[in-house]
Structure 1
Amino acid sequence: MANKHDILSVLKEVQSGSLMPEDALLRLKLAPFEDLGYAKVDYHRAVRQGVAEVIYGQSKTTEQILGILYSMEQRDSHNILVTRIGQDVADAIAAEFPLHYEPLARLAVVLPQEVPGRGSIVVATGGTSDMGVAEEAAITAEVLGSKVTRLYDVGVAGIHRLLANLEPLMSARVIVVAAGMEGALASVVGGLVDCPVIAVPTSVGYGASLGGMSALLSMLNSCASGISVVNIDNGFGAGFLASRINLMEGIKE
């Protein structure tokens, strides 16, 4: 079972009499997961969450990633996200599957299919050095069906750069802010807009930034309301949450 529509299709076949309940039960039993020994591929995640399982590529071998992808391909999965992989792993996957790979984000979209973008997400960065994390968020949101506008290098060291882009900020349904150093951009954006802001502290900065801890603490202690914070460098988590908010039922096209 690839998604909720497949489950509904099975139920309609039972209703019409073209599929026996026992056969439908067997098909549904096959849905939950497949045990590959080194991984249990969760086919039911699309049913529960509306999104297929994402493969966290870091610390997995190329063979393990390929095995999971073969399994998901057999269940007609598409737009499979494989996060935190280098060019060498992407090249190995590309030899077996069609994919789009973004080296800056270290993110691959395997078995890609075009998804029409809905709503409005803005992904903003404090500096150019934050773009890798921001691209992970932006591509994740786009694959999940959201329309994304990128505003890069609009940090507080030159606040006029941010203020020159008020229109997309004010019209966004949710904003992702990726910033390192002291992480002040999230507070500034949070004080300007009326939509949720998802702050992503990045590990960019000199020694006292402590690998993103300074930005993380600044964002957690923001005096602006409506800001949530994800883990350091967690662009995927921010993009996933932003898309879920953006695509909530009841939001008009």
Structure 2
Amino acid sequence: MNQDELKLMTARLLAGELAHEDFLAGMSAALEAAANPPAVTLDFDRQRRCGFPEVVYGEGKSATTIAAIIDKLLASGVRAYATRISPEKGEFLLKHLSSRNDTARYNELAQVFRADPPSLKAAEPKGKVAIITAGTSDLPVAEEARETVEWMGVGCVMIHDVGVAGPHRLPLRLPEFIDSDAVVCVAGMEAALPSIVGGYVPCPVIGVPTSVGYGANFGGVAALLSMLNSCAANVTVVNINAGFKGGYLAGLIASRAGEKLAAREAGDDN
């Protein structure tokens, strides 16, 4: 129902041409349509099956559709998370939730939006993920990974600008990430960083190639191929600029490790 239809229905109600029951039925149908956009089928069972709720991919969706999806997710008691949200859509979503949800936040650099149900209590982070960037140009992708990891309730440490152009920088930061359950390496150019990190840590290293680089980088294809050809056995790779995917995989690894550690400690206490 658009604004003109709503005005017409209200005018008919005030003029006595529309029964109260019919007005309420029409309003109920309009609200239901807004909460369940016709082109969207939400998966409310995903958290039970897969451990985490459905994530909204913002590109190609209108701001009103994203808002309706987030409203429905929050009403179901799950933490809402949307990626690839433009600044204009982010501003719309913040205004949409500003009067009723003080947890809503938008990260313009990462272009992600998050909001928690007001009744949901914050939990202690479980597990640890390190996100390491080769250069500051990789920050938007790294921030998408960080937001994803934190949305999953996993502890996160960020280490920036330690690429192979200055190889002395990485070993100096080793104490900060050596105990991680998983490491996300975000790099463009020749993307050698995951191989170097993989030689230092006893955990999975997830390479996220970025499109940062000059012409022969081919929009990140060179970085992707370099990571795929890593000689470090603990390195695996996701798609170009896929900060969400890298962060999500690392978050899954870390959260399961954290759960097993908590279970062991609880067993020891008993």
- TM-score norm. by structure 2 comes to 0.77
The residue type paired with residue 56 of structure 2 is I
**Aligned residue number for residue 147 of structure 1:** 155
Q: Tell me how far 1:166 sits from its aligned partner.
A: 1.1
- Residue 82 (structure 2) aligns with: 82
Bigger drift between 159-168 and 215-224 goes to 159-168
Aligned partner of 1:91 in structure 2 is: 91
The letter for the 1-side match of 2:112 is: L
Counterpart contact for 1:122–1:151, Cα < 8 Å: yes
C-alpha displacement of 1:76: 2.2
Aligned with 1:199: secondary structure?
A: strand
Measure, in 2, the Cα distance between the counterparts of 1:207 and 1:193.
32
1:105-157 residue CA offsets vs partner (Å, 9 max, x unmatched)? 00111236644222221100000000110111111111101110000101000
Instruction: Provide, for residues 21-73 of structure 1, a one-character-per-residue CA deviation record: whole Å limited to 9, x for no partner.
Output: xxxxxxxxxxxxx9631100111111111211100001111121112122223
The match for 1:102 among 93, 100, 107 is 107
Gaps in structure 1 of 5+ consecutive residues: 1-33
Q: Which segment drifts farther, 167-176 or 147-156?
A: 167-176
Q: Distance in 1 between matches of 2:254 and 2:197?
A: 18
CA distance in 2, matches of 1:77, 1:251: 25
Answer whether contact 2:36 2:68 (CA < 8 A) is retained. no
- Kept in 1, the 8 Å contact 2:36–2:69? The answer is no
User: In 2, distance between residues paired with 1:83 and 1:115?
Assistant: 23
Aligned counterparts of 1:131 and 1:242: Cα–Cα separation in 2: 17
Q: Which amino acid aligns with 1:251?
A: L
Residue aligned with 1:41, SS = coil
Structure having the higher strand fraction is 1
Asked if 1:41 is matched to 2:42, the reply is yes
Q: How many corresponding residue pairs?
A: 219
Which residue is 1:199 aligned to?
207
Work out which of the residue numbers 213, 226, 229 in structure 2 matches 1:218.
226
Amino acid at match of 1:69: I
Separation in 2, partners of 1:139, 1:208: 30
- Aligned residues: percent identity? 42
Name the counterpart of 1:123: 131
Question: 1:231 maps to which residue?
Answer: 239
Please identify the structure whose Cα radius of gyration is greater. Answer: 2
The answer on 1:65 being equivalent to 2:66 is yes
C-alpha distance in 1 between matches for 2:116 and 2:44 = 16
Question: Equivalent residue for 2:11?
Answer: none
User: Is the 8 Å Cα contact of residues 37 and 65 (structure 2) preserved in structure 1?
Assistant: no
**Of 143, 147, 150, the match for 1:135:** 143
Q: How far 1:86 moved relative to its partner?
A: 1.4
Q: Aligned to 1:215, what secondary structure does the other structure show?
A: helix
Which residue type is aligned with residue 45 of structure 2? H
Q: Which residue is 1:21 aligned to? A: none
Equivalent residues in 2 for 1:234-245, closer than 5 Å:
234-245=242-253
TM-score, normalised on structure 1?
0.82
Instruction: Report the aligned-residue RMSD.
Output: 1.6
Residue identity matched to 1:132: P
